[in-house]
Copies of this chain bind each other. A is one copy, B any other.
Amino acid sequence: MSDPTPEAAQNHTSQRFEEAALELFFQRGYRSTTVRELALACGLTPGALYNHFPSKDQLLYSILRDVHEQLEAMMTEALADAGDDPRDRLRALVRAHAIFHTRFRKEARVANDEVLALEEPGRTEIVDVRRRGRGRFEDALRDGIAAGVFEVADVKIAAMAILNMGIRIAAWFRPDGPRSSEQVADLHADLALRMVGAPPA
């Protein structure tokens, strides 16, 4: 087996930094975490951090970009498999969103708590990604209303309510708790369908 290429070694170190940063941002908050602490957590010097990331802000940006890409990918895949019925599409979106929040609990909590701590232009970029994510839920509700299968008094508030019950899964879900990730996803999908006036049979 040959040694890893310099590029692979560089990527590996970047990933170690991101994992350490995620843990520290989650435990102590982004603002309270120093570059020194980040480097120490990896057994390296602050100088080594700056070889990979020009700033603590870039580290947060990189984590938040990755986690939102992951969520986007999960929702896109779920929708691709869902067919055309608006009920199936909403179910697919809510399930993907819920499963994401059981699997990436720390990432999701850091993303939700720290997105406004980002500097520009990263902040606007990530806020836009999040807005598009909300837009998918709003579109799903509007499609169901147009098809005559959903009844929704306020699309924005209903979409926000559905998203927010999902987001908070990251705060209470435990892998060793009484419900599996899949069960939580199914239960949330049923709640969401009820919220839009299309209770599952």
Which residues of A are at the interface with B, using a C-beta cutoff of 8 A? 28-29, 31-32, 113, 153-154, 157-158, 160-162, 164-165, 167-168, 171-172, 179, 184, 187-188, 190-191, 194-195, 197, 199
A138 to chain B: closest CB distance in Å? 13
Q: Which of B154, B158, B187, B199 contacts A157 (CB 8 A)?
A: B187
Q: Which DSSP category, helix, strand, loop or mixed, fits chain A's interface?
A: helix
Whether A191 pairs with B161 at a CB distance below 8 angstroms is yes
Whether B165 pairs with A161 at a CB distance below 8 angstroms is yes
Give the one of A31, A179, A191 with max B CB within 10 A: A191
Whether A190 pairs with B153 at a CB distance below 8 angstroms is yes
Q: Name the CB-closest residue of B to A113.
A: B113
Q: Which of B28, B113, B157, B162 contacts A179 (CB 8 A)?
A: B157
Whether B153 pairs with A160 at a CB distance below 8 angstroms is no
Which B residues are CB-close (under 8 A) to A164? 164-165, 167-168, 171
A190 to B157, CA, bound (A): 11
Which B residues are CB-close (under 8 A) to A158? 187, 191
Q: Which of B29, B113, B190 contacts A31 (CB 8 A)?
A: B29
Which B residues are CB-close (under 8 A) to A31? 28-29, 31-32
Q: Which of B32, B157, B187, B188 contacts A32 (CB 8 A)?
A: B32
Once A165-B164, A168-B164, A199-B197 are accepted as A-B contacts, the answer to whether A179 and B154 lie under 8 Å apart by CB is yes
Whether A168 pairs with B160 at a CB distance below 8 angstroms is yes
Whether A153 pairs with B199 at a CB distance below 8 angstroms is no
Q: Which of B162, B172, B195 contacts A160 (CB 8 A)?
A: B172
A197 to B154, CA, bound (A): 19
Q: Which of B29, B167, B172 contacts A168 (CB 8 A)?
A: B167
Which B residues are CB-close (under 8 A) to A195? 191, 194-195
Which B residues are CB-close (under 8 A) to A160? 165, 168, 172
A182 to B103, CA, bound (A): 36
